[in-house]
Amino acid sequence: MTDASPSSAGNGNEALAAVPGELRVFQWHDHASLWFSLGVGLLVMQMGSYLLPALSPSQALLAIVLGSVLGAGLLGWVAQIGCRSGLSSAGLMVAVYGRSFARLPILLNIVQLLGWGAFELVVMRDATVAVGRHGGAMTAGYWPYLATLLWGAVILLLIGGSMVRLVRRIVSRVALPLVVLSLLWLSWQFLSMAHGQGLAALWNRSGSGGMSALSALDLVIAMPISWLPLVADYARHGKSGRSAMTGAWSGYAVANIWCYGLGVLVALTLPSQDLIMALLQAQGGLIALSLVLIDEVDNAYGDTYSASVSAHGIAPRWSIRRWGLLIASACCLLGMVLPMHSLEPFLLLLSSCFVPLFGVMLGTLGLGADANRLLRQAPAVRVKAVLIWIGGIAFYHLLPLASTALGSALPTLALSFGLAVLFMRRRERAEPVPA
């Protein structure tokens, strides 16, 4: 079953129709709980540990706070657009890029979500096996496959239900308190370790260099930006744009700061390339890690659900639920057969396409334009939007050749946003509705 029955404006295509007001139930705490939960993850902690030893702890903390506030602010802005319009990410892409051309970014989004969904299952599998082996079990070679199938089955079970009920009944009421307790426990344990090793000496360590402040900001902002293609799929179920924006912004910013910061703290106290084993060394780390691991489920679910909404937007004859079951199964199979660590650069390459994509979207829709009207009036291709997006992708990859100190994400986002404001705001004037 699906979560809502959008109006018939999308001709049976729920992804391209606005969710009616009477079916919008998410309030501020629902948005905040969802995005805090999605912001927590082992991969986020691992990214935080990468900031050391290139930066000093104080420099790393500054980059974490600034990058999290900026990145989560972008999430909140897109959430506001999605809630105000009631449209999914696929619907917003059609409104900005045109009915025919939008299929390309929608397909890219599906591909990257398949990859990230499989990657999340691999992270969950590896953590499960590490926890099991730490307890003296799961030593046989077939356990990684069984663990992948186990977590894949959980995602299949969840995708068959209602996303709205999952967020309101499970994430907000059950998962959130447990994951907060686990993060508090891990933070206390590693702060105690840092105090025992000499907190002042650890804090005053100097960085070894090799990473500029803007490059570090790029690394931090990468995580919230990776969620931009998903946020509208959930925010469209919100009651008000303001609560969607502030809930997503505050929830994700707090989670991102906390997990990146915890990654830095772990790297300071227990330098290791294996974050999971480092967490297990903390007192009570097994229980805390297990709770964080369970919270990873919503990350994989988020990728799967959003991919199914996008797939339904292209092929509406299959329901969102049916697409979700297929995509969850595909993620499970990919997680068992693909070399995920060699696939990660390809996924990051795909993600780079979405920085300018959403720069154009924010420049077009973020200053008050009517997304539903633009969707109704969408031609086959909005040429100016497409050219700005392609130019932004080129700029993203060419900029490091000129200077690695600037980073890529923020300059590309600013450029594509500015060009969209300059050239796309004229679209607010009524255009002929295509036959």
Residue 266 pLDDT greater than 80, yes or no:
yes
* E strands in 10-167: none
How many structural domains comprise the chain? Answer: 1
Q: Which domain holds residue 151?
A: 25-342
Within a domain: residue 225?
yes
Query: For 307-362, how does the pLDDT look when each residue is reduced to its tens digit (9 = 90+)?
Result: 999 999 999 999 999 999 999 999 999 988 876 666 657 766 777 899 999 999 99
The pLDDT of residue 16 = 93
Is residue 261 domain-resident? Answer: yes
- Calculate ∠ Cα 69-294-244, nearest 5°: 35
Computed over every residue of the chain, the mean pLDDT equals 87
Q: Is 360 among the domain residues?
A: no
Lowest mean pLDDT among 9-13, 174-178, 306-310, 380-384: 9-13
Model confidence at 1: pLDDT above 50: no
Phi-psi region of 98 (alpha: psi -120 to 50; beta: other; left: phi over 0): left
Find tokens 């959930």 and name the residue.
234
Could you give the CA distance from residue 84 to residue 74 in angstroms, rounded to a whole number?
Answer: 15
Does 101 reside within a domain? yes
> Do the domain assignments include residue 69?
yes
Closest CA to 169 of 293, 290, 26: 26
Nearest to 347 by CA among 234, 231, 237, 222: 222
Partners of 238 in the β-ladder: 26
Is the backbone peptide bond immediately before 53 cis, with ω within 30 degrees of 0? yes
Q: Taking residues 108-135, what's their average pLDDT?
A: 87
CB 363 within 8 A of CB 416: yes
| pLDDT at position 329 | 95
Enumerate residues 6+ apart whose C-beta is below 8 A from 171: 33, 34, 37, 298
Average pLDDT over every residue of 133-143: 79
Q: What is the CATH number of the domain that holds 36?
A: 1.10.4160.10
**387: which residues sit within 8 A by CB, 6+ positions away?**
none
Q: What is the pLDDT of residue 344?
A: 59
Higher pLDDT, 18 or 273: 18
Q: Which residues contact 26 (CB under 8 A, 6 or more apart)?
A: 34, 164, 167, 168, 234, 235, 237, 238, 239, 243, 244
Residue entry with tokens 């980073």: 407
Instruction: Determine, yes or no, domain membership for 355.
Output: no
Residue 394 resides in a domain: no
Give a yes or no: residue 406 inside a domain.
Answer: no
Amino acid sitting at position 80: Q
Percent of the chain with pLDDT over 70: 93
pLDDT tens column, 273-291? 677 788 887 777 788 888 8
In degrees and rounded to multiples of 5, residue 67 shows phi and psi of -65, -40
pLDDT greater than 60 at residue 224: yes
What's the rounded mean pLDDT across residues 300-306? Answer: 93
Residue 7 pLDDT level (bands cut at 50, 70, 90): very low
Confidence of residue 5 (pLDDT cuts 50, 70, 90): very low
Q: Is the pLDDT of residue 6 over 60?
A: no
Give the three-class secondary structure for 348: helix
Contact 279, 288 (CB under 8 A): yes
Q: How confident is the model over 62-77, as a mean pLDDT?
A: 95
